[in-house]
Amino acid sequence: MKPHIRLILFGILLLVTAFGFIACTPWARGISEFGAVIILAYHPKIVPVLVYERFNGFGLGAAQPVATLLILVAITSFSFLRFALASERKN
């Protein structure tokens, strides 16, 4: 293989590896923060701890309503913020 082709392939490999690392970093951070909450601050219960506890204790059927409510609250709050900021920009 010619040397310049090796450099091109090495550059592509570096880009793919960097993208994989960048894509994995937020997921790993979220998992580590959840683990810290479970270990250090189990009480007072926050919503992620409640979902985790219900899933481990009673299964997926018990965790789904709490997780669905959490997702709906997050979507509603982000939508409200988006519309509020959009109306501010128009003025």
Kindly report, residue by residue over 3-59, the tens digit of the pLDDT: 788 888 888 888 888 777 787 888 888 889 999 999 988 888 888 899 999 999 999
The structural domain count of the chain equals 2
Rg from Cα positions in the chain: 22
49 and 71 co-located in one domain? yes
31 and 61 co-located in one domain? no
56 and 26 co-located in one domain? no
Give yes or no for residue 61 having a pLDDT over 80.
yes
* pTM for the whole structure: 0.64
Structural domain that includes position 85: 42-91
90 and 47 co-located in one domain? yes
Q: List Cβ neighbours of 66 (8 Å cut-off, separation of 6 or more).
A: 47, 50, 51, 54
34 and 55 co-located in one domain? no
Residue pair 70/51 in contact by the 8 Å Cβ criterion: yes
SS percent in the chain: helix, strand, coil, step 5: 90, 0, 10
